[in-house]
Amino acid sequence: MEIFQYIDAHQSDFIKDLKEWVAVESDSVQPHLRKEVMRMMALAADRLAALGATVNLVSLGSHQLPDGQVLPLPSVILGELGKDPQNPTVCFYGHVDVQPAKKEDGWNTDPYTLTEIDGNLYGRGATDNKGPVLAWINAVETFRALKLAMPVNFKFVIEGMEEAGSLGLEKLLEEENQSFFSDVDYIVISDNLWLSNKKPALTYGSRGNACFFVEVECGSKDLHSGTFGGIVHEPLLDLIALLDSLVDSTGHIQIPGIYDSVAALTEEERKLYELIEFDLEEHRNNCGVKKFLYDTKEEILLHLWRYPSLSIHGIEGAFHEPGIKTVIPAKVIGKFSIRQVPHMDLSVVKKQVVEHLEGVFSKRNSPNKLKVSMPLGAKPWLADVNDVLYKAARRAIKTVFGEDPDFIRDGSTIPVARMFQTVTQKSVMMLPIGAADAGEHSQNEKISRHNYIEGTKLFAAFFLEISKLHRNLHETSHTETIN
């Protein structure tokens, strides 16, 4: 196939492009590097313009750091290429800022000099997210260079603050929802990794996150355990009893009703889990624990992705330093979160948590003040794997890699997928090209030459498949309308 041949023949050019991008220390976390983020955004905008895209740099204003310093936010690139009404419009989201990296952190090579060793391209941003952004651009470029008709209309959302919380992005999406996004059919994000080192994956969901604060207070001042130990209802004892009521030792959440709305596992879904390539032993070794709560791959993945979990993170206000302090803390705040899943409703979850904790607390006859709040509630995200978007990607993967992908979810919240989904209500897909061992956010981040180049082919193949499937769908709808 001409397209794949072109991509293979231009490997060196594509890697040269990536080397040029990695060389820019576009670290959005450290304020003194903000100008490098700006420089990176300009590079990306030029690259899109060279494709023939119209490029609009939308200013997001500035933000204030905790120390009072005011910094300009990098503009977000909104790009458009092609307006053929026969074509579907696919919007690609990516970011060109990176996490901080220093050679001294334990890198074997300079993090800002892309270096190939044994087929791996090492450098900060190689996989997160400069590599995938360039692979997409280079896939588009391939059609242009070969003077082929563009199978889809492209839109681009490229930002420079992802690693610092995507400040201002959600507001921009809301503002552009009726204009830039109005004719978008599909949204593709390639900012995550496969589950394994070798087998491609498609990500179709992530859990939400409902964070809770449980505050127990006996008064305004901390007390001394010598002077008051034994005669007061200690807030920390109340809090510990409350926290101890949340989960049993098998990991089962004890809040009444909490599992009521969890979507039932279908047979079709169970089969997806059986097919997934996942090395339980390796996963266990990576995290360092002796034993998981479950023994089989299927159970582990089900409990990580599609069942809720409750984790306790810590306590604010109690003694937390090394050594001893014989204090009775007057006000303590327990922090825990529930990774919730479809179709749990955030407001119902909150009500169940509050009622449960108030019930446990009332049995203690404590004169202390209890306050339960949910300072953060992020919804889960779940796409339909039978959507044409996923069908097209699956076919493209089969074409390029010769096998079906793992259909995977993420146990964590993926804010950007949820954000695009919630604001635009379009079909969103996470289409990763990096392998599980790519080390995003870590020392020695990399993308393999194989994944970078085959990933470029995957995107090109995907353009053709989604174009075909979308047209079919459109024609079928049309026919149906006539019948």
Please select the residue that binds its own copies; options are 289, 296, 403, 472, rule is CB under 8 A.
289
- Residue 238 labelled as part of a binding site: no
Q: Does 251 bind its own copies (CB under 8 A)?
A: yes
Q: Please, which residue, 267 or 321, has the CB nearer to its own copies?
A: 321
Asked whether residue 470 is marked as a ligand-binding residue, the answer is no
Q: What is the DSSP string of 106-172?
A: T-SS-TTS-EEETTEEESTTTTTTHHHHHHHHHHHHHHHHTTPPPSSEEEEEEES-GGGT-TTHHHH
Any catalytic annotation for residue 162? yes
To its own copies, the closest distance from the beta carbon of 212 in angstroms equals: 10
Euclidean distance between CA atoms 135 and 456, whole angstroms: 5
d(CA 92, CA 112): 25
State which of residues 201, 247, 372, 466 lies at the interface with its own copies (CB under 8 A).
247
User: Rule CB under 8 A: which of 297-336 touch its own copies?
Assistant: 300, 303-304, 307-316, 318-322, 324-330, 335
Token pair recorded at residue 419: 């954000």
- The Cα 64–Cα 77 span in angstroms is 22
Distance CA 434, CA 413 (A): 19
User: 């991509």: which residue's tokens?
Assistant: 7
439 token code pair: 């080390």
* Beta strand 369-378 pairing with 209-217: antiparallel
Residues in CB range of 13: below 8 A, 6 or more apart: none
Annotated binding residue 191: yes
Rounded CA separation 297/247 (Å): 22
Report the nearest approach of its own copies to the CB of residue 257 (Å): 18
Cβ–Cβ < 8 Å for 364, 241:
yes
Size of interface with its own copies, in residues (CB under 8 A): 78
Nearer to its own copies, 185 or 222 (CB): 222
CB of 287 to its own copies, least distance (A): 6
Task: Round to whole Å and give the CA distance between 111 and 107.
Answer: 7
Q: Considering only residues 212-231, where is the footprint of its own copies by CB under 8 A?
A: 218-221, 223-231
Select 397 or 419, whichever has its Cβ closest to its own copies: 419
Q: Catalytic: which of 162, 222, 238, 406?
A: 162
Selected binder of its own copies within 116, 170, 292, 449 (CB under 8 A)? 292
Instruction: Say if residue 105 carries a ligand binding annotation.
Output: no
Asked if residue 22 lies in contact with residue 107, where contact means CB atoms within 8 angstroms, the answer is no
Closer Cβ to its own copies, 177 or 373, answer by number: 373
Collapsed DSSP state (helix, strand, coil) of residue 218: coil
Residues 332 to 391: which contact its own copies by CB under 8 A?
335, 337, 339, 363-368, 375-376
Q: Could you count the other beta carbons within 10 Å of the beta carbon of residue 219? A: 12
Q: Which stretch binds its own copies (CB under 8 A): 29-37, 169-177, 187-195, 242-250?
A: 242-250
Q: What is the 3-state secondary structure (H, E, C) of 76-92?
A: EEEEEECCCCCCCEEEE
d(CA 21, CA 406): 30
Phi, psi of 72 (to 5 degrees): -70, 145
Q: Which is nearer to its own copies, 64 or 220 (CB)?
A: 220
Rounded Cα distance between 217 and 185, Å, is 52
Query: Which stretch in 19-27, 117-125, 127-135, 245-253 sits in contact with its own copies by CB under 8 A?
Result: 245-253
Q: Which is nearer to its own copies, 223 or 466 (CB)?
A: 223
For the four alpha carbons of 342, 343, 348 and 354, in that order, the dihedral sign comes to negative
Query: Which lies closer to its own copies via its Cβ, residue 13 or residue 244?
Result: 244
> For this structure, is 403 an active site residue?
no
Query: Rounded CA gap, 185 and 281, in Å?
Result: 40
Residue 480: CA atoms inside 13 Å, Cβ hemisphere, count?
6
The distance of closest approach from Cβ of residue 7 to its own copies in the complex, given in angstroms and rounded to an integer, is 33
Stretch 6-35 residues interacting with its own copies (CB under 8 A): none
128 marked as binding residue: yes
What is the per-residue DSSP string for 196-212?
SSSS-EEEEEE--EEEE
Site residues (CB under 8 A) for its own copies, limited to 53-92: none
C-beta closer to its own copies: residue 22 or 214: 214
- Shortest Cβ 68–its own copies spacing (Å): 18
Q: Indicate which residue of 17, 97, 185, 454 is catalytic.
A: 97
The span of 85-93, 152-160, 246-254, 271-279 binding its own copies (CB under 8 A) equals: 246-254
| Other beta carbons less than 10 A from residue 412's beta carbon | 15
- Distances 233 to 185, 242, 334 between C-alpha atoms, Å: 59, 14, 17
* Nearest-approach distance from CB 12 to its own copies, in angstroms: 36
CB of 196 to its own copies, least distance (A): 15
Crossing angle of helices 34-51 and 11-22, rounded to 10°: 150
**Shortest reach from residue 361's CB to its own copies, in Å:** 10
Q: Which of residues 110-149 bind its own copies (CB under 8 A)?
A: none
Give the active site residues.
97, 162
- Residues at the annotated binding site for Mn(2+)? 95, 128, 163, 191, 441
- Residues at the annotated binding site? 95, 128, 163, 191, 441
